Structure 1
Amino acid sequence: ALTADKIEQELDLNLTGVMNFADPIIKAMAASGAGSVVFISSVNAISHFGNPAYAAAKAGINAYAKSIAVELGRSGVRANVVCPGSIRTAAWDHRLAKNPEILGRLKRLYPLGRIVNASEVAEAVAFLASDRASGITGAIVPVDAGLTAGYLPFIDDILGA
């Protein structure tokens, strides 16, 4: 259930903490005349997949990155965001314990037929942080095996029926 405590906890962890950590680094980048920052947000900031407080905090990261891109671009600072979809981590252990079939059900939602792995997310971050992405700032990049592109089960179950 959504409570004031839950909202505060999600915002503190997933937005306030990120901004407090990043702000002095970004200011130093601007003072030096160059820099690139890449934030990790979530597909939950783009589409709703539950947990409104978490989604709002992650959407706040996206907005924060855009503010940096706009306000500090002339100072040579770029800011971008990677929004991963589901990744098989220990965070899934409690769900798998309840339902061992859950990953198979989850994969059905993804147009690539699978979830992404951490190295795929890392590759996107490395690219956006690199000089190869020198013209990219303020971008929100889903690395999500197509999850936010559209709802595949609708096509399978409704249009394909």
Structure 2
Amino acid sequence: MEECGYCKEKEKKHKGYLEDIEKEKIRECQKALERDKIAKGTKVDVKCLKQQQLMQVEEKRCIERQEQHVHMMWHQVLMDDCNRKEHLERLAAQKRQQETMERRRCYDEQIASANKKRQELIRQEREKENRNNQEEEGTTRDEQKELHRRT
């Protein structure tokens, strides 16, 4: 049996509606998949972003530790330099003190030697004067004895 034009048209429209509904379902499914994909992608992106932020925080801490380490190394270098300088200054002061003591000892020895020579010269001078006085006294005594004998 042959269908009438109205039934064919109705059937054709019905198929068109079903196809349109099917196409709409497909589009809605694709939209849902796209939204899901975006949501999953966003979750992944958020997760990646958090991971990157954590890595940046860790990197910042690492840089701060390295800067602190460098700061401590420079501090140690400066302290070592200061200690070495103080040590060299102490050595120089000790050397100057020893040189001063040595000069004083030499001066004291020179003064002692000069005093000894002066004392020796004074002693010799006194001995010479004593001899001269004794000779004069001896002459005077002899003269007195002579005078005494004559009288």
Structure having the larger proportion of residues in helix: 2
| TM bin (shorter chain) | under 0.3
Higher relative contact order (CA 8 A, sep 6+): 1
Query: Under a length normalisation based on structure 1, what TM-score does the superposition of the two structures give?
Result: 0.18
**Greater Rg, structure 1 or structure 2?**
2
Structure having the larger proportion of residues in strand: 1
